Amino acid sequence: MYFQIELEKVLQLQGVEFDYKETGKHSIGFIAQEVQTVIPEAVEDFGGNSITVGETTIENPLRVNEKFIIPVLVKAIQELSTKVTNILTDVKTMLGDAGNGIQNIVSDIFTGREFHASEKICIGATCVNEQD
């Protein structure tokens, strides 16, 4: 069964930097309580009812299991790719309707081919050259 996740949910995730209290080791990750509001499946109990770090006791600690975030990120990238493809198609269509040959130039740029003009590029009555 495929799941639906909106790109906006992924945008709500905030990465953080932190140092472990016990070792001082620097790391990156997420705050479990924040992830729980966006992707609850990625958050699980950690250490039972409470854990003690240094002199601080944390009640009902949580942790993020990042392996559950990976499929959500893949889905968001797929959604974003579809949006970009649709935008590029719309831009090519709009430029192609101009009837001035700009569609071929833009198509070459968007598909990674280089475009070189020997003297100038004109769109309608507006022209530019290398000096412009």
Q: Provide the pLDDT for residue 4.
A: 64
pLDDT < 50: residue spans in the chain: none
Q: Provide the pLDDT for residue 103.
A: 61
Q: Provide the pLDDT for residue 18.
A: 87
| Contact (Cβ atoms closer than 8 angstroms) between residue 73 and residue 89 | no
Q: What's the pTM?
A: 0.62
> In sequence order, which residues have a C-beta less than 8 Å from that of residue 42 and are 6 or more positions away?
35, 36, 64, 65, 66, 68, 69, 72
**Residue 6: which of 87, 80, 65 has the closest Cα?**
80
